[in-house]
Structure 1
Amino acid sequence: MTTVNAFLRFRRLLPQRTRYTATIDTVNSDGTSTATTRDGGKVRVIGDSLTVGTKAWIEDGRIVGEAPALQEYQEQI
């Protein structure tokens, strides 16, 4: 079903924000940090407010806060 609301149609054209968690590896002197994602990828993000070893919420390449350190596990089905 399509909508006639022009604002909602316009919002669909805008890119959606990406949000994920990562563990901070190093805090760089230029205001950025290097972090590791859950799948092992390395990313350089804007922000230096967290310490090494903490989990961070990353949104659009920027640290937006500290994420809870929850247990992670995998299960094969």
Structure 2
Amino acid sequence: MATVNPWKRFIGLLPGGAKTVGEVVSVDTAAGTSVLQLRTGSQVVARGTSVAAGQIAFLVDGQVMGQAPSLPQYDFEV
């Protein structure tokens, strides 16, 4: 049954999931996981082994989605 709540309908239109980029620190093929280091310096364990250690990877909802391009990064504060 579809909802008539306009807020819930709006949220349903938005793409879900947290997306970020990190460097793959290590890959555990037996467990099917990878350890990624994020820009903030924190490390997370994610599902997926498709990107080799030392490469940059896209991370979506805790899963490695593929290799990301190695581009320069700039941080600005406003």
Alignment partner, residue 21 of structure 1: 21
Deviation at 1:16, TM superposition (A): 2.6
TM-score by length of 2: 0.75
TM-score by length of 1: 0.76
- Cα deviations by residue, 1:7-55 (Å, 9 ceiling, x for unpaired): x61744x883110001000001310000100110100000011111100
Q: CA, structure 1 residues 72+10, in 2 after alignment: closer, same or farther (shift >3 Å)?
A: closer
Distance 1:19 1:76 in 2: 21
Deviation at 1:72, TM superposition (A): 2.0
Bigger drift between 23-32 and 64-73 goes to: 64-73
SS of residue matched to 2:57: strand
Matched, 1:55 2:56: yes
Aligned-residue CA RMSD (Å): 2.9
Distance 2:63 2:53 in 1: 16
Structure 1 unmatched ranges of 5 or more: none
Alignment partner, residue 35 of structure 1: 36
Dislocated runs of 4+, deviation >3 Å: 73-77
Structure 2 unmatched ranges of 5 or more: none
Distance 2:63 2:76 in 1: 31
Aligned pair count?
Answer: 72
Alignment partner, residue 9 of structure 2: 9
SS of residue matched to 2:9: helix
